[in-house]
């Protein structure tokens, strides 16, 4: 499932903070939230389409 791949962002952000004392800007987190929510929405739509398709096959 693709949205789970976005768990890399918090891990990398923590590593950057710990190793380089670099804090991600608000724009980075806002963009990550938009991408993550879009991935969840697409997954939800795909599930709905699959359910609708399985009803039609009966």
Q: How far apart are CA 10 and CA 38, in angstroms?
A: 17
Q: How far apart are CA 28 and CA 41, in angstroms?
A: 20
Write out pLDDT tens, residues 2-57. 555 777 888 888 899 999 999 989 998 898 889 888 888 998 999 999 998 877 76
Residue 34: alpha-carbon gap to chain centroid:
8
What is the per-residue pLDDT for 2? Answer: 56
What is the per-residue pLDDT for 57? Answer: 66
Enumerate the domain spans of the chain.
2-57
Write out pLDDT tens, residues 32-46. 889 888 888 998 999
**Residue 4 has what DSSP assignment?**
G
């Amino acid at each position: 499932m693709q949205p789970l791949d976005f768990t890399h962002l918090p891990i990398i952000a923590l590593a950057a903070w710990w190793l380089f004392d670099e804090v991600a800007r608000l724009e980075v987190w806002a963009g990550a939230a938009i991408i993550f929510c879009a991935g969840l929405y697409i997954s939800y739509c795909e599930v709905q389409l699959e359910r609708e398709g399985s009803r039609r096959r009966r």
